[in-house]
Structure 1
């Protein structure tokens, strides 16, 4: 297991960032590698983002040495989304089978996690979000069909989409983590439209199910002074509470969203009119 650390930045800081610096602070490009477990620890609400792709062997992790705790989840909870082929996740001896688009909630106190694929020809692709937790809740598998869907957007504005809530008080409770998957309808390109801010929560996006030649133009920054990131398949974007987060794709795509902060109120947002963006 490897761990990269990002310290975060404020809205005034990024005014002087060039493309390389902006990408280095907010874009995670090396999540998924064969037979490796990779984590990035950000000081933005102490979110950890991880990726694991077991191909030739199963992968085991759980040590908390790099974050100063006995185990990785001694004081944390985690969501694991399978974005690839069928696989299994074993948490302290308890096994779960995850199909594509299934999500596993792992409660605080888990000591050892092992991930595997059912076939090396179609390996599982595990994407993980972990945040500090102040309560012990049981592990729970949330299959794709148990997620709560919300139909959003307007086809005339090219932003029709289905948002599926997985780790959410209305589906599977957690301490502070929220996690779900959004799919764009055929012909739509815009996500999270209209844009908004949520001062009390940060968010991370992981874009996936994209063709190799396609890209997302992800807009971030303050509404009055936006910046952009060009994002490829399997890359994740950090979105601090002070930043908008919205994007448009050059082809079909989906994304996993994860949030943490002061509350779990999904609608606790401040909308921003598109006409106000600069």
Structure 2
């Protein structure tokens, strides 16, 4: 298990960042490596993003050495999404089988987790978000069929999409973590359009199901001074509360969204009109 640390930045700092620095602070590119568990810890709301790809062996994780607690989840909760082939997560010996696009909520206090794949030819690809938690909520597997779909956008604006809520008060409770998956309709390229800010919550995006040659142009920054990141399949973007977040793809894609902050009110946002962007 590895743990990289990012310290975040404010909007005034980002004004002076070149491409390399912007990517170093807000883009996580090395999440999914075979037979490895990789975590990145950001001081932006102390979110951890992680990836695990068990191919030839079962992977174990859960040590709290990097976060200063007996176990990684001694004072944290976690959401685990399977973006690959069928796999299994065990939490202190309790097994959960995850198909593609199933999500496992792991409550505070878990000690030892393992990740395995049904087939080495089509391994599971587990993506994780973990945030501090102040309440004990039972572990729960949420299948894609159990998630709550919301149809958003308009094909005429190239932003028609379906958002599925998984870890959410209306589906599966947690302390502060929210998590779900958004799929774009055929022919649409824009996600989260029009953009918005949510001052009381930060967000992380993990883009997936992109072809090798395609990219997503992820826009971030203050509305009056935007920046962009070029994002490939399996990359995660850290989006602070002060930043807009929206993107357009050169081909089909989907993304996992995860949020934490002061509340779990999904509609607690400040809309930004496209005409205000600069």
Q: Give unmatched runs, 5+ long, in structure 2.
A: none
Q: In the aligned structure 2, how far is the partner of 1:194 from the partner of 1:66?
A: 38
SS of equivalent to 2:15: helix
Secondary structure of the residue aligned to 2:162 is: strand
Query: 1:60-84: CA deviations, max 9, x gaps?
Result: 0000001100000000000000000
Paired residue secondary structure (1:66): coil
Provide the residue aligned with 1:241 in structure 2: 241
1:157-179, Cα deviation, whole Å (9 max, x unpaired): 00000000000000000000000
After TM superposition, list the pairs within 5 Å mapping 1:29-108 onto structure 2.
29-108=29-108
Q: Superposition pairs for residues 126-275 of structure 1, below 5 Å? A: 126-275=126-275
Structure 1: gaps (5+ residues):
none
Determine the C-alpha separation between the residues in 1 that align with 2:55 and 2:209: 19
- The Cα of 1:193 is off from its aligned counterpart by 0.7
Q: Secondary structure at the match of 1:176?
A: coil
Cα deviation, residue 196, structure 1:
0.0
TM-score, normalising length: structure 1: 1.00
Whole-angstrom distance in 2 between the partners of 1:52 and 1:195: 31
Moved over 4 A (4+): none
Question: Secondary structure, in 3 states, of the residue corresponding to 1:84?
Answer: coil
Please state how far the C-alpha of 1:20 moved relative to its aligned partner. 0.1
SS of corresponding position for 2:251: coil
Query: How far does residue 140 in structure 1 lie from its aligned partner after superposition?
Result: 0.0
Residues 231-274 of structure 1 deviation map (CA, whole Å, 9 limit, x = unaligned) = 00000000000000000000000000000000000000000000
TM-score (norm 2): 1.00
1:92-128 CA-to-partner distances (Å, cap 9, x unmatched) read 0100000000000000000000000000000000000
